[in-house]
Amino acid sequence: MFDHLNEMSPVALLALAKQDSFERKPRTLLPVPPERIKQARRWLDASHCAYQPNGPCEGWTVIAEQRLSQPWRPAHRLYVTTDDGGDGDGGGGDRAPLVVLAIRGSQDLNDLVTNLFVETLPFHDGYGHAGMVSGGAALAKLYGPAIALLERDTGAKVVTTGHSLGAATAASCAIELRRQGYSSSAASVGFGTPAAFAPSLAQWSSGFVTSIINGDDIVPRITEASLLRLHLRSLRVDVGDVLLCGLEDTLAQWSLPASCDSAHVERAERFKASVVEFAHDRLLPTRTAAHAAAIAKRLEATREFVVPGEVLLINKQGNVGLGSCDDVKDIVLSRTLVSDHLTASYAAGLGHVLRVDAKPPSALTTSVAHAVRRVKAMVGGSGQPVDGVIL
């Protein structure tokens, strides 16, 4: 996937970074209801809690958890609550509970193994990143019967959520829960979701999967196809011209002391002209049209991966709105392409939600509490999932 990165000119990439940082026009976003943004903030809190083994979300009951990742099964927590993150009355005892599976992003070597399992795996009517869809399928198999019990006996709704690796795993888990008949309500909300799904599968899941992308976050944008497109962009940059312009700007700023006589000034100007002429003759593009054609041919043969479901974008102006997977198909070379991926950056992007006073979740009803006890028994009793218990 990354074997052609060393062929890209650093000068060309810097020129593209300048274009992406200063010459892009802000995109107009279609607005989304404030209620939906507030819910997204709640799922971000749950995703953040998955990174903290000793910090459960306040007011949420932990049914089960796996604190250490395994290959193809990230660390996670399974919660139950009556808080949907919205403007509910906060005191309705008959409100249906909400089951939340929060999946952690990459944090250890086992997560790296999952990320690097980049083979293309057939997944329902499409394909996906082998490590991430395998993780989602494993969690659906592990918790599917328990989720089915809660949904049947209490009318619970199901949300899977996560950040980064956890977001793609959450999306594939929700797809699997629905396709295997464990849940008819399963939905997924992911943050910084990697492009891990076939376009057809991503479109099919748009009714119950949401991918939230902050700014220029590189993780949802980095695929083999997007790297090849970046390579083609870099080949269209006239590296010699870029270097020549930089050299001319530098020489233009070079001035002689006022005490120099006209002969010195004349010799200096001739020297500047000779340097520019020398550079102009030798700073030529290093890649040929044939090389660009070879990259384009490779791109045609490369499978496209996209982020799943409906896409919400958080832009640099602090707005949240509807976008599409096409908005995040290409890498943006900006100074914030890495920092925009942090959960803290997503929290800042949704920061205006923090000004809304959150209402506390209502207590679980007796029937729901009884169902939760049954589910805990199914997954090992102590809140720790046990392999092989749920088959």
pLDDT in tens, 14-32: 778 877 877 677 677 888 8
**pLDDT value, residue 356:** 43
**pLDDT value, residue 55:** 60
Overall average pLDDT of the 160-186 stretch: 95
Q: Is the pLDDT of residue 387 over 50?
A: no
Q: 5 pLDDT band (50/70/90 cuts)?
A: low
**pLDDT value, residue 92:** 44
**pLDDT value, residue 85:** 53
Q: Sign (positive/negative) of CA torsion 374, 375, 376, 380? A: positive
Of the two residues 94 and 307, the one the predictor is more confident about is 307
The model's pLDDT over 64-75, given as tens digits with 9 standing for 90+, comes to: 889 899 998 999
Q: 223 pLDDT band (50/70/90 cuts)?
A: very high
**pLDDT value, residue 88:** 43
Single-letter code of the amino acid located at 294: A
- Beta strands 157-163 and 310-314 are unpaired
Please check whether residue 210 is in contact with residue 331, taking contact to mean a CB–CB distance below 8 angstroms: no
Overall average pLDDT of the 78-88 stretch: 67
Single-letter code of the amino acid located at 8: M
Q: Is the pLDDT of residue 370 over 70?
A: no
**pLDDT value, residue 349:** 87
What are the two backbone dihedrals, phi and then psi, of residue 29, each rounded to the nearest 5 degrees?
-100, 145
Q: Is the pLDDT of residue 299 over 70?
A: yes
**Ramachandran region, residue 155 (left: φ > 0; alpha: ψ -120 to 50; beta: rest):** left
The proportion of the chain whose per-residue pLDDT surpasses 90, expressed as a percent, equals: 43
The chain-wide mean pLDDT, for the chain, equals 80
The DSSP bridge partners found for residue 322 are: 30, 312
Q: Is the pLDDT of residue 390 over 90?
A: no
- Between CA 119 and CA 126 the distance in angstroms is 14
Q: Is the pLDDT of residue 197 over 60?
A: yes
The model's pLDDT over 44-54, given as tens digits with 9 standing for 90+, comes to: 988 888 888 66
Overall average pLDDT of the 277-286 stretch: 55
What Cα–Cα distance (Å) separates residue 372 from each residue in 40, 333, 390? 25, 47, 15
- Between CA 277 and CA 284 the distance in angstroms is 13
Most confident of 94-98, 176-180, 353-357: 176-180
**pLDDT value, residue 86:** 54
Overall average pLDDT of the 9-14 stretch: 72
- Strands in 310-314's sheet, in edge-to-edge order, are 30-31, 320-323, 310-314, 209-214, 187-191, 157-163, 98-103, 76-81, 61-66
pTM of the model: 0.80
**pLDDT value, residue 207:** 93
Name the residue ranges covered by the structural domains of the chain.
32-223+305-378, 238-299
Of the two residues 334 and 379, the one the predictor is more confident about is 334
- Give me the helices (H) in 306-391, please: 343-349, 366-378
Least-confidence region, from 139-143, 147-151, 345-349, 370-374 = 370-374
Q: 82 pLDDT band (50/70/90 cuts)?
A: confident
**pLDDT value, residue 70:** 92
The model's pLDDT over 226-256, given as tens digits with 9 standing for 90+, comes to: 999 998 888 877 655 555 565 556 656 666 6
Overall average pLDDT of the 315-337 stretch: 89
Please check whether residue 212 is in contact with residue 175, taking contact to mean a CB–CB distance below 8 angstroms: no
- Superfamily for 32-223+305-378? Alpha/Beta hydrolase fold, catalytic domain (3.40.50.1820)
DSSP 258: T
Overall average pLDDT of the 80-91 stretch: 56
